[in-house]
Amino acid sequence: MPPYDLCIVVPTLDERENLGLLLERLRNALHGICYEVIVVDDDSPDGTAALARRLSRTQDNLRVLHRIGRRGLSSACIEGMLATAAPFIAVIDADLQHDETILPEMYRRIRSENLDLVVGSRNLAGGGMGEFSKWRRRLSQLGRRVSGVQRHAALTDPMSGFFILRRTFFERIAHRLTGAGFKILLDIVLSSEGHPRIGEVPYRFRLRQHGQSKLDLIVGLEYLELILDKLIGDFVSVRFVMFALVGALGAVVHLMLLGAMLKIEHLSFVKSQTFATGIVMILNYVMNNSLTYRDRRRRGAAFLFGLLTFCIACSLGVIANVDISAEAFRHGVPWVLSGIIGLLFSGIWNYGVTAMTTWRDRRRSAEHRAERRAEASALVGDSTLPAPVANAELPSKGSP
Ligand code: GDD
Ligand code: MN
């Protein structure tokens, strides 16, 4: 294997129809440059990873990183970038929207001008948004404003996902990256200390030919998560902030429900309060399950079991809340402050306990690892793999 000068990282999610064409275009564009390609695929249902593996049997500068149980454009790019030893790394979409013919120019500039980063920009003279819909342009502008990225670097297209960087620069910032969402370039720029040396090369954004964009509401949410993490992530976990926001929303709904039951339905206070509490607990569980913990989302039977542990944890939280705030109040703490102390305590309690029970990271649990290994050895038919169920890890399962 030659020592590659350039690595092209290609994140893919359902890009089977585009991949072959992209590789061919890269071959034409990068003539004379010693480069490798790393496709990072998140277990695409359309079999992109399998196709990439097949292609790599005849194209030996092609490698595949097949991730299972993971999602996310940014984290895919990061893992791809970490998997190469090449001194320069580029990221390009698989859907042919980025103009690969400017890669040699980007590569030339980063080296000859000794830059950290060269970005393909749609907003420079000579570039263009192409037929990007109006609302996507607006969204792009809004995103830029929210991020405050202009304070870090004068970039005309910080939302671009098309760039090339120097590995030494990437290694300096790699541990600070958030890795959430779609905007890896923004993550990189916001994570860099001081002012990175940046260049830009214009290009025209093309229309997607096959398949569809993966931008959706969740991706939008992940964008806010990225910005929040950059703002406050050093002090408090963004997951906790989201959990608290869901809780706050739940409190508002609770009061509205309570009011409606009392005033409109004329139910007793105890009945109304009990009903509102039950509904809001379920609502909070559903919202946390699909937003705050979407990466560990519980489905099917696990969904119901999760609901049960969530309700138990939160009920204990309420009891503690009342006890603690009452105690504070008895000792002369003003009622508002007592209330806040109780709320804070139960918020932290609920978050901590449900993180350890309801949304415990199952991938790290011994049982899950053992299951995975059993599946893998069954698949490969490999008896050299360690025994699927290790007694040391699973004492309760009680095999000999
Ligand atoms: N591995 C992996 N995992 N790849 C992903 C994922 C994911 O969860 N989501 C999307 N991709 C891949 C797609 O297969 C494609 O190659 C690339 O990332 C971009 O995804 P699109 O779905 O085509 O996104 P887009 O066209 O809306 O957004 C692109 O344009 C923006 C410009 O505004 C992205 O390139 C952004 O990074 C870019 O900034
Ligand atoms: Mn695209």
pLDDT in tens, 322-377: 899 999 999 999 988 988 898 889 999 999 999 999 999 765 555 665 666 666 65
Residues of the chain with pLDDT below 70 are 1, 362-400
Nearest residue to 72 (alpha-carbon basis) of 213, 184, 232: 184
**Contact (Cβ atoms closer than 8 angstroms) between residue 118 and residue 200:** yes
Domain interval for residue 286 = 238-356
Say whether 281 sits in a helix, a strand or coil: helix
Residues 254 and 295 in one domain: yes
Residue 353 CB partners (closer than 8 Å, separation 6+): 313, 316, 317
Residues 169 and 41 in one domain: yes
The whole-number pLDDT of residue 398 equals: 37
Residues 207 and 251 in one domain: no
The whole-number pLDDT of residue 104 equals: 98
Any ligand 1 atom below 6 A from CB of 94: yes
Number of domains in the chain: 2
Residues 131 and 269 in one domain: no
Residues 208 and 89 in one domain: yes
The whole-number pLDDT of residue 332 equals: 92
Residue 166 lies in a domain: yes
Residue 317 lies in a domain: yes
Q: Are strands 62-66 and 35-41 parallel, antiparallel or unpaired?
A: parallel
The whole-number pLDDT of residue 211 equals: 85
Residues 112 and 246 in one domain: no
Nearest atom in ligand 1 to 48's CA: 14
Nearest residue to 182 (alpha-carbon basis) of 142, 155, 125, 222: 222
Burial class (CB in 10 A: 0-12, 13-18, 19+), 203: buried
Please give the structure tokens belonging to residue 69.
């149980």
Measured in angstroms, how far is the CA atom of residue 214 from the centroid of ligand 1? 6
Pocket test for ligand 1, best of 25, 214, 219, 221 (most atoms within 8 A of CB): 214
Residues 69 and 207 in one domain: yes
The whole-number pLDDT of residue 286 equals: 97
The whole-number pLDDT of residue 389 equals: 44
Residue 256 lies in a domain: yes
Residue 229 lies in a domain: no
Measured in angstroms, how far is the CA atom of residue 168 from the centroid of ligand 2? 28
The whole-number pLDDT of residue 130 equals: 77
- Judge if pTM exceeds 0.85: no
Residues 187 and 248 in one domain: no
Residue 113: CB atoms within 10 Å: 10
The whole-number pLDDT of residue 152 equals: 77
For ligand 1, atom 25, the nearest C-alpha belongs to 213
Residue 318 CB partners (closer than 8 Å, separation 6+): 277, 346
